[in-house]
């Protein structure tokens, strides 16, 4: 489908964006697909090639921190070579243009943040909420220390070269949420507040199967928001959507957002 053939839903959604007081944008790995960042599920997905249990759980890190760090170090380097795409830029533009827009992302790739920097704003942005942490933050496994860490590459060649906590000397780990771990409390609370307040919810590039993140758009709909889904494939949220756009996010989102009055 070309943008031209969906003119009516496009126009209707543009009007809804212009009229809404409170817009929640929930994103997942698909928003970064056009930047070259692999998604988790579906063809070529990360979880098709590797097992979650070996890489993204606290138990995996306890058993084999070197293998876990090897995987995260590779992802940090690969994503460091990627750049924000047109969907990240369109979302950043809407976020910065209006004070009633909140972006809730499951992504740990930092590409929303980089689009905001490219648009000339500083980080952290108070209305960009990271539900699953960041690949570019380090956290201590035993004390509360955590710090942004994007500069030096991680050397996973031996356990001795792995990063350590400067506060207590214990092992440092990637600052992402692993399976079986709770989400950061403040992030989840702020996301729920934004969901309850939103009149419109745009869901972009998520399979919507990982909870509690997948419940955030549901909370918005239950509180009265209308939902627009941007995803080439159906998801469990599709039946809740007023608008469904099956194109790649980087094609359709800018087309919609940049033209909003
Ligand atoms: P998934 O890999 O589960 O889903 C990606 C979604 O993006 C799929 O529904 C695709 O159809 C869609 N998609 C692909 N290309 C797209 C494009 N160009 N434009 C729009 N959509 C596109 O990723 P998430 O839903 O983000 O958790 O996964 C949720 C969580 O599962 C992740 O945050 C991660 C993972 O395990 C943790 O790391 C805790």
pLDDT for the residue numbered 149? 85
Q: What separation in Å is there between the alpha carbon of 28 and the centre of ligand 1? A: 5
Residues of the chain with pLDDT under 70: 1-7, 151, 261
Asked if residue 184 lies in contact with residue 162, where contact means CB atoms within 8 angstroms, the answer is no
pLDDT for the residue numbered 1? 45
pLDDT for the residue numbered 258? 85
Is the CB of residue 41 below 6 angstroms from any atom belonging to ligand 1? yes
pLDDT for the residue numbered 132? 98
pLDDT for the residue numbered 49? 86
Q: How far apart are CA 236 and CA 98, in angstroms?
A: 29
Q: How far apart are CA 210 and CA 52, in angstroms?
A: 13
Phi, psi of 247 (to 5 degrees): -85, 170
CATH among 3.30.465.10, 3.40.50.10380, 3.40.630.10, 3.30.1600.10 for 38-81+135-176:
3.30.1600.10
Minimal-distance CA residue to ligand 1 atom 22? 30
Q: What angle do CA 3, 228, 94 make, to 5 degrees?
A: 80
Is the CB of residue 237 below 6 angstroms from any atom belonging to ligand 1? no
Is the CB of residue 40 below 6 angstroms from any atom belonging to ligand 1? yes
Provide the strand spans (E) within the chain: 23-27, 101-105, 128-130, 133-140, 146-148, 172-176, 200-204, 226-230, 243-245
Q: What separation in Å is there between the alpha carbon of 170 and the centre of ligand 1? A: 32
Q: Is 124 exposed, middle or buried (0-12, 13-18, 19+ CB in 10 A)?
A: exposed
Asked if residue 42 lies in contact with residue 49, where contact means CB atoms within 8 angstroms, the answer is no
Q: Is the peptide bond before 124 cis (omega within 30 degrees of 0)?
A: yes
Residue spans in the chain of domains classed CATH 3.30.1600.10: 38-81+135-176
Specify whether the backbone of 137 is left (phi greater than 0), alpha (psi in -120 to 50) or beta.
Answer: beta
Q: What mean pLDDT, rounded, does the chain reach?
A: 94
pLDDT for the residue numbered 3? 47
- Determine the residue of 61, 207, 234, 237 to mutate for testing ligand 1's pocket, defined as the one with the most ligand atoms within 8 A of the Cβ atom: 207
Residue spans in the chain of domains classed CATH 3.40.50.1220: 1-37+84-132+183-261
Q: Is the dihedral of CA 191, 183, 122, 31 positive or negative?
A: negative
Q: Domain 1-37+84-132+183-261 classified CATH 3.40.50.720? A: no
Is the CB of residue 249 below 6 angstroms from any atom belonging to ligand 1? yes
Q: Is the peptide bond before 212 cis (omega within 30 degrees of 0)?
A: yes
């Amino acid at each position: 489908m070309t943008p031209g053939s969906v003119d009516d839903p496009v126009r209707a959604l543009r009007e809804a964006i212009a009229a809404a007081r409170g817009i929640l944008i929930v994103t997942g790995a698909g928003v970064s697909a056009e930047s070259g960042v692999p998604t988790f599920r579906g063809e070529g997905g990360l979880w098709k090639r590797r097992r979650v249990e070996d890489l993204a759980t606290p138990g995996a890190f306890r058993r084999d921190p070197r293998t876990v760090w090897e995987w995260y170090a590779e992802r940090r380097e690969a994503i460091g070579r990627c750049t924000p795409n047109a969907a990240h830029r369109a979302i950043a533009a809407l976020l910065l243009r209006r004070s009633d827009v909140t972006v809730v992302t499951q992504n740990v790739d930092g590409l929303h943040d980089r689009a905001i920097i490219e648009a000339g704003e500083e980080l952290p942005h108070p209305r960009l909420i990271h539900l699953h942490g960041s690949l570019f933050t380090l956290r201590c496994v035993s004390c509360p220390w955590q710090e942004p860490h994007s500069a030096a590459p991680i050397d996973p060649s031996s356990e001795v070269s792995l990063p350590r906590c400067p506060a207590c000397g214990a092992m440092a780990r990637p600052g992402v949420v692993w399976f079986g771990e709770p989400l950061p409390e403040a992030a989840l609370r702020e996301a729920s507040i934004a969901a309850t307040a939103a009149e419109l919810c745009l869901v972009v590039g998520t399979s919507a199967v990982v909870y509690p993140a997948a419940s955030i758009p549901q909370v918005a709909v239950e509180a009265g928001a209308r939902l627009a889904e941007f995803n080439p494939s159906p998801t469990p949220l599709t039946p809740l959507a007023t608008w469904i756009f099956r194109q790649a996010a980087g094609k359709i989102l800018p087309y919609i957002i940049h033209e909003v009055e």
